Amino acid sequence: MTEERLIISRKTNNKFFLMIAIGVVLLIAGIIIAALSGGHQAEGHGEAAAAGHEAAHWSKRLYMNLWLNNVYFTGIALVGVFFVAVQYVAYAGWSVLIKRIPEAMGYYLPIGGAVMLITFLLGGHDIFHWTHDYLYNQFLEDGVTPNPQYDPIIAGKAPYLNFWFFLIRMVAYFVLWILFFNWLRRNSLNEDLNGGTNYYHKSIRISAMFLVVFGVTSSTSAWDWVLSIDTHWFSTMFGWYVFASWWVSGLAVITLTVIMLKQNGYLKMVNANHLHDLGKFVFAFSIFWTYIWFSQFMLVWYANIPEESIYFIERLGGNGGHFKWIFFVNLLVNFAFPFLVLMTRDAKRQMIMLKIVTIAILIGHWLDFYLMMMPGTLRTDAGIGFIEIGTTLIFLGVFLITFTKGLAKASLVPVNHPFLEESVHHHV
Amino acid sequence: MTKKFVLGIYDDEDVLLQAIENVRAAGTKIYEVFSPYPIHGIDDVLGIKRSRLPIVAFLCGLFGMCFALWMQIWMLGFDWPMIIGGKPHIALPAFIPVTFELTVLCSAFGMVITFFIVTKLKPSIKVNVFDKRSTDDKYVMAIEVKEGVTDISALNNLLRSNGAIEVNEKEVIK
């Protein structure tokens, strides 16, 4: 089988850098606008505080955006490793030709880890209510007067939700994920050089171990990074909910990349049959995400217990209906649209249809994460403006640079994979 | 009325696929091909059009969805309104699980029933043009002999020259 090397031209790379530059400009513009209007608010600070409303500082909005985008892109990178691992454990043959794409997505993980750590250390108080020490002291300093800010519910979660344990967990997730990513990648690259089935069998064992790690960490990281924003509230479905969102976004990235590469003359042996399977994945897991979404929503809606339903009230009529449109757009873009458009066989085999749907899904699930994080933090100060678009463009640019660099490092066709022949002749 | 069929027996999948192509290229209409398992690409070679069953599935699913919604809205909203959990009589989220189940049920049953009707599969079906070995390790290509044709040596030669290990003649009373 012939090797295929991806060459990222200077022009393409410059486009990515331009994307980052535009992002930075928009971000700075957004911050200046927010700081100016925020300064105006500060003048009437006493009045605003008395009215029980204080406009969020621009830095809070910046931290929230860093957190949102980083969780989103880290999840996509992680899903790349997960996809490869699933294919190995399932002895899948069809995906061999496109395997290098999810494999290269993992290159974003170290950056994701660094950004996550820095954002948490700098902006932890802005993102997570539970990081404030005063919530945990039952009495004021004299030891007698009850602390009015004491929160028994949050204090009860202290054994899990405390600064150091949270930090240790975060580092552990990234160390484990990056370790397994490197391990799988190294075996895959060595297979290209030396051939034989040893690397394949070894990869299956590594993948099986990774899946166990992923099964636990994907849920716990979702609790840590997303669920704990709404500290009082909890949902036993939340781990799967975030996983479903990550997974379908990751599948959309894989599909979109395959199409982009194919349209630029790469991946010559990939045909409509492979696209069909990827389309089925995107279609099926859009429905899976909806299933999880609805399961979580309906139980809360039906039971109608105040401490539970507050979560959806904040996203519907609460916060002055600020998030209502996103709530419904979320369902339309992530369920109705892919469900109806990708239903037929022909749609899943056409690049243009897949392209439209995957781009819609990627925007839709960004909004999904937005809806998970913003109502609990920025509340009515949340918006989608220069800061949001700018930060997203920066992250997208960085992700694309690391991703394409990773893709260019090795042949796009894993030349010595034992199932390569099966993938070339894949037929559905 | 009797009909005559010629059955070509093959023992190799690739030879069979090539034979189908050659026989069709020679202008001979193939009545049916029997195989112990589905063969990749045989639909294209035989020139079989894609099944329209998915359309039936969609329409049945759509019917199931409408039926389920109508049933619940009518029952709980108009025929016998009850207050359940303080929710409105017509509370859409509560109807979704039943709607989902009925959509899937109607879609699946509709497909199966349509399939049986279209293929005329029924318990009393008699398959006359049949060689039992096609359920084991052989592939069988059946060609209907045109009325008035008595000499089948041409068909015999065609099948044998394309790798058939055996050619049988079968007369069927219709």
Which residue has tokens 């490869």?
Answer: A84
Cα-based distances in Å from A405 to A258, A307, B16, B63, B174 = 16, 47, 47, 50, 69
Q: CB of A304 within 8 Å of any CB in chain B?
A: yes
Interface test with A, best of B40, B45, B53 (most A CBs within 10 A): B40
* Nearest-CB residue to B96 (from A294, A343, A344): A294
Q: Does pLDDT of A50 surpass 50?
A: no
Instruction: Tell which residue, A89, A102, A97, A101, has the closest CA to residue A203.
Output: A89
pLDDT by residue (tens digit) across A116-125? 999 999 999 9
The percentage of residues in chain A with a pLDDT greater than 70, rounded to a whole number, is 95
The alpha-carbon radius of gyration of chain A (Å, integer) is: 23
pLDDT by residue (tens digit) across A206-244? 999 999 999 999 999 999 999 999 999 999 999 999 999
- Supply the pLDDT for residue B129: 80
Cβ separation B93–A298 shorter than 8 A:
yes
Q: Calculate mean pLDDT across residues A134-139.
A: 90
Q: CB of A299 within 8 Å of any CB in chain B?
A: no
Cβ separation B85–A304 shorter than 8 A:
yes
The percentage of residues in chain A with a pLDDT greater than 90, rounded to a whole number, is 87
Q: Calculate mean pLDDT across residues A261-271.
A: 94
- Mean pLDDT for chain A overall: 93
CA–CA gap between residue A260 and residue A351 (Å, rounded): 9
The Cα of B63 is separated from the nearest Cα of chain A by a number of Å equal to: 16
Q: CB of A336 within 8 Å of any CB in chain B?
A: no
pLDDT by residue (tens digit) across A187-205? 999 999 999 999 999 999 9
- Asked if residues A57 and A38 have their Cβ atoms less than 8 Å apart, the reply is yes
**What's the whole-model pTM score?**
0.92
Q: CB of B93 within 8 Å of any CB in chain A?
A: yes
- Supply the pLDDT for residue A44: 43
Cβ separation A298–B94 shorter than 8 A:
yes
pLDDT in tens, chain B (174 residues): 778 889 999 999 999 999 999 999 988 889 889 999 999 889 989 999 989 999 999 999 999 999 999 999 999 999 999 998 889 999 999 999 999 999 999 999 999 999 999 988 888 888 778 888 999 999 999 998 888 777 788 888 889 999 999 998 888 876
Name the residue of chain B whose CA is nearest to A340's CA.
B58
pLDDT by residue (tens digit) across A366-417? 999 999 999 999 988 888 999 999 999 999 999 999 999 999 999 999 999 9
Cβ separation B94–A302 shorter than 8 A:
yes
- Asked if residues A130 and A166 have their Cβ atoms less than 8 Å apart, the reply is no
- Asked if residues A212 and A111 have their Cβ atoms less than 8 Å apart, the reply is no
- Supply the pLDDT for residue A387: 95
CB < 8 Å to A348, chain B: none
Measured in whole angstroms, how far is the alpha carbon of residue A371 from the centre of its chain? 13
- Supply the pLDDT for residue A153: 93
Q: CB of A164 within 8 Å of any CB in chain B?
A: no
Of A70-84, A134-148, B81-95, B155-169, the range with the highest mean pLDDT is A70-84
Measured in whole angstroms, how far is the alpha carbon of residue A124 from the centre of its chain? 19
Cβ separation A344–B54 shorter than 8 A:
yes
| Paired residues of B144 in beta bridges | B5
- Supply the pLDDT for residue B99: 97
The Cα of B84 is separated from the nearest Cα of chain A by a number of Å equal to: 10
Q: Does pLDDT of A56 surpass 80?
A: no
CB < 8 Å to A304, chain B: 85-86
Cβ separation A304–B93 shorter than 8 A:
no
